[in-house]
Structure 1
């Protein structure tokens, strides 16, 4: 069974994320002050439609959302379409920007295999361990909510990019 969800980590994995916010007025000012790199209203919708911007995260205010829905065919397949379910359609722009830097998507394939990043080799061991613990706690909650089996984790491997997988835990 495949699944997809968003997890929050203590130390952001991708620290150079480009955040785009569809907002006007005071919300646009808050977005800029909170660190959003690309901020705009209806003109930004047109620019995104034309492919003028590259970004990793996308947030919208409820007032701008009707205009943003025109971009569903562009943003949807990339997993960037703002939605109320993900919490990316909101008036709390600063809170969401802060949260989005520590959030990443995780997907499980049809065989139940989840590939995810827990850190970088240049990080302190404690940061990697903390992210691992937080991710595992959240994965356990997801599993209890969605699946019946108790032994949903069979094995845990760790590896560097293009490196060999090393068995951490066998039937945890």
Structure 2
């Protein structure tokens, strides 16, 4: 991968999110900045990580929201419209334990079938880390504060609330694994 994919991802995400969903765009920029900061932990996949961070929420764009489940809608858009790199598409589709939310929405089978989870735990965890340590406005936060914010915004009994409560232990574990990897690796 090269930084060309990062530039492409940034242009695409900005085009889809900045005007329609400025707060989502601010979050996206924060997640991408976090990925650029910690990308060294995934070695040669640093640009892939930044591109995935930049595109992880593209499926929220109103014109792309066909199922209403942004990981699936975004991944289909990247695959079908842009013929994007398969690993990138699979990262977007599965970011932040999307399979658990897909189950809540009755979309687990299409997500799992069309976009199998990558067997690259550190890369997957690092994208989770970047997303779950960034506020909706793009600022840094802790994973615990982020989960609490999501619960507060959506409510305990919503689909997202049920999902995030189920995913929280896994989110905290993934963030912990990345923090450990970052601490063990010189910058």
Which structure's relative contact order is higher, taking Cα pairs within 8 Å and 6+ residues apart? 1
Query: Greater share of strand residues, 1 or 2?
Result: 1
Q: What TM-score does the superposition give when structure 1 sets the normalisation length? A: 0.28
Q: Who wins on radius of gyration, i.e. which is larger? A: 1
Q: What TM-score does the superposition give when structure 2 sets the normalisation length? A: 0.26
Query: Greater share of helix residues, 1 or 2?
Result: 2
